[in-house]
Amino acid sequence: MRLILGSGSPRRRDLLAQIGVVADEIRPPEIDETPHRGELPRPYCIRMATEKAQAIPLNEGEIVLSADTTVALGRRILGKPDDRDEAARFLRAMSGRRHSVITAVAVRTGDRLWQRDVVTAVKMKRLSDEELNGYLATGDWQGKAGSYGIQGPAGAFIPWIQGSFTAVVGLPITETANLLQAAGYPIWKGSS
């Protein structure tokens, strides 16, 4: 069985490697990630992971794993910022507050689909102007939902989480391993 990773994220590749899983091929899908009008963060995230998995053509014996990570401040989706100003707005909005990070995972083989999502509560410390501007200067906010990655320099801004650390990074490992096993992909194929 060949595993196709429907994501170009190096963080997701690294997380899979933690459980000994290496994708046979990387095929990031090209889909429209615009939220529907009035769409709430969790249903949006689940829809994105599912649409990504369904957008990737599979050959016989292939299984695809796709995921989506969404940062939510209440009912508001904080996506990947378009520029430094938007990144600053997102970070100021989360400064000193709790927000949610939702990561949905979808695994598909043929016409069968397995899906799970994990919601993690995250607290961001109150950011000073110096911290905010210093972080923005790193460029680490680029391409990251909510303008930050907990595994990078912004980790210094996160004193507390409740839930899955790996889900905040981009892939909830426990749930992902369970989905792959449910789909028949051998995770623990070591010698007995």
Cα Rg, the chain, nearest whole Å: 17
Tell me, yes or no, whether 32 lies in a domain. yes
Tell me, yes or no, whether 188 lies in a domain. no
How much is the pLDDT for 191? 39
Tell me, yes or no, whether 189 lies in a domain. no
pLDDT confidence of 190, banded at 50, 70, 90? low
Model pTM score: 0.93
Tell me, yes or no, whether 175 lies in a domain. yes
Nearest one of 148, 138, 43 to 94, comparing CA atoms: 148
Give the model confidence (pLDDT) of 6-37 as tens digits: 998 899 999 999 999 999 999 999 999 999 99
19: left (phi over 0), alpha (psi -120 to 50) or beta: alpha
Q: Is 68 a catalytic residue?
A: yes
Give the model confidence (pLDDT) of 91-144 as tens digits: 999 999 999 999 999 999 989 999 999 999 999 999 999 999 999 999 999 999
Average pLDDT for 71-75: 96
Tell me, yes or no, whether 9 lies in a domain. yes
If one counts the domains in the chain, the total is 1
Please give the Cα distance from 129 to 49 (Å, whole number).
35
How much is the pLDDT for 18? 93
Tell me, yes or no, whether 96 lies in a domain. yes
Tell me, yes or no, whether 152 lies in a domain. yes
Nearest one of 140, 75, 74, 65 to 109, comparing CA atoms: 65
Range of the domain at 86: 2-183
Average model confidence (pLDDT) for the chain? 95
H or E element, residue 117: strand 112-123
In this prediction, what percent of the chain has a pLDDT beyond 70? 98
Q: Which of 14, 24, 32, 68 is catalytic?
A: 68
55, burial (CB in 10 Å: exposed 0-12, middle 13-18, buried 19+): middle
CATH number assigned to the domain comprising residue 137: 3.90.950.10
Nearest one of 75, 66, 150 to 116, comparing CA atoms: 66
pLDDT confidence of 192, banded at 50, 70, 90? very low
